[in-house]
Copies of this chain bind each other. A is one copy, B any other.
Amino acid sequence: MIGGGQGAFIGAVHRIAARIDDEYDLVCGAFSSDAEKSKASGILLGLPESRVYTSYQALIEKERELPEDERVQVLSIVTPNHVHFAPTKMALENGFHVILDKPMTFSLAEAKELEKVVKASGKRFCLTHTYTGYPMVKEAKEFVSAGKLGKIRKVYVEYPQGWLSTFLEGDNQKQAAWRTDPGKSGIAGAMGDIGTHAFNLAEYVSGLHVSKLCADINIVVEGRKLDDDGAALLKFDNGASGVLIASQVAAGDENNIKVRVYGEKGGLEWKQDEANTLLIKWLDKPAEIWRTGGGYLSSFAAHNTRVPAGHPEGYLEAFANIYRNFALSIKADMEGKTPEKEWVDYPGIEEGVRGMAFVENVIASGKSDKKWTDFTI
C-alpha cells in the first residue's frame, strides 16, 4: 500500500476491503511521505520493519528485487490526487498490478498518459469507484443492458453531501484540507471528489456515454478555493438526456448518492441509503422491490453477495467486491484461464480516463457562456 497512514480515512477502508474476502495479505507499505509516520503506521499494521518504506519509489525499487514468491503483487495507491500518477506509472512499469483510488489523476493529460502506460504494461489496473461494487448496482446495469426497460431516455444521478457546508479547511480538518486545495486535488473540488462517482455510476448503470454537458459550477462557502457544488444537464450518445447533481453543501445530507434510469417501458432507482434495494418501476404494472440475496437475481448480483437476503451488506462489502474481483481476475490470468465476466466487472482505466475527462469538461462548461460543451477526451 502506498499512502493510507495513520489518520487517513480511505486507506483504512482499502485495507478492510482487501481483508474481507481473504484474497490479499498486506505485505509492505509506504504509508506516508513523512518517513517517521510511514514507519509508525506500518508497525501498527503489523508489518516487519523491512517491508515498511519511506517513499513509494523505495518501495517499488526494493520490492522488485525480492524473490517472486515474496514480493508484493498488487499495489494499492491511496494518496491524494496529486500523487496518483507517478507511483501508479512506476508501479505498472515495474511489473505490479495497481488498485488506485479515484479520481484517477490530477489532470486529463495524466489520465491519457496513464492509459498508455497501463496498456503497455500488460498489468491489471483497477480504479475504486466503490458504488459499482454494490450488488444491486450491478443488477441495475444488467437489467438495463438486457433491454428490460427498452431504449433508455432519461438518467438522473445525484450525490448530495453536507459535510463541507462550513469552512472546515479553515480548521485544518485533514480530509477537508486536501480536498479543497487545488495543489492536491486538481482543478475540481466537489466535481472531482463526488461528481466523478456520480458520473461513473450514471454511465455504468445506463451503459451509455455522456456526449455533451452544460454545467453550473459553484463555490458556495466563502473563502473556499475549489467548487463545492454543481449540477450539469447531460446528453448521452444514444440521444437520452439527464441531470447530474453533486454538492458538498447540501447541509444535513450524508452520502446520498442515487441514480434513476428511465426507458420506454419502465424505470429503475438505486440509492446508497437503501443499498440492498433496487426499485424497478413499470408503466402498467406494480413496481418491484429487488433485493440483495434474492433468488431471482442475475449472476452479477449473486456473485457479489455474501449473506442471505435481509442481512444488509454495505459500503465495505461493495468495496471488497472490487478488491475480490480484481484478485480473481489476476489469479485467473496467472492460471492461464479466462476470468469470468463477473470478475472483470471492476472499474479500470477506461472509466478513469472518462472520469478525468468529465472533470475537465464539466469545469470548462462551468466557465463557458455557451450552453453545451462537447464531451471531449
A282 part of interface (Cβ distance < 8 Å): yes
Q: Which residues of B contact A192 (CB under 8 A)?
A: none
Q: Which residue of B lies closest to A311 (CB)?
A: B315
Query: Interface segment, A179-187, A263-271, A326-334?
Result: A263-271
A285 part of interface (Cβ distance < 8 Å): yes
Chain A 286-312, CB-CB to B under 8 Å as 1, else 0, gives: 111111011110000000001111111
Q: Which residue of B lies closest to A295 (CB)?
A: B284
Q: Which residues of B contact A251 (CB under 8 A)?
A: 149, 153, 262-267, 281-283
Q: Which residues of B contact A45 (CB under 8 A)?
A: 22
CA distance A274 to B13 in the complex (A): 22
A345 part of interface (Cβ distance < 8 Å): no
Q: Which residues of B contact A243 (CB under 8 A)?
A: 231, 243, 245
CA distance A368 to B370 in the complex (A): 9
Q: Are A154's CB and B229's CB within 8 A?
A: yes
What's the nearest-Cβ distance from chain B to residue A322, in Å? 14
Q: Which residue of B lies closest to A18 (CB)?
A: B19
Chain A 249-278, CB-CB to B under 8 Å as 1, else 0, gives: 111111110001011111100001111000
CA distance A371 to B232 in the complex (A): 11
What's the nearest-Cβ distance from chain B to residue A5, in Å? 16
Q: List 9 A-B contacts (CB under 8 A).
A: A13-B306, A149-B251, A162-B262, A166-B283, A251-B267, A285-B296, A287-B291, A288-B289, A369-B371
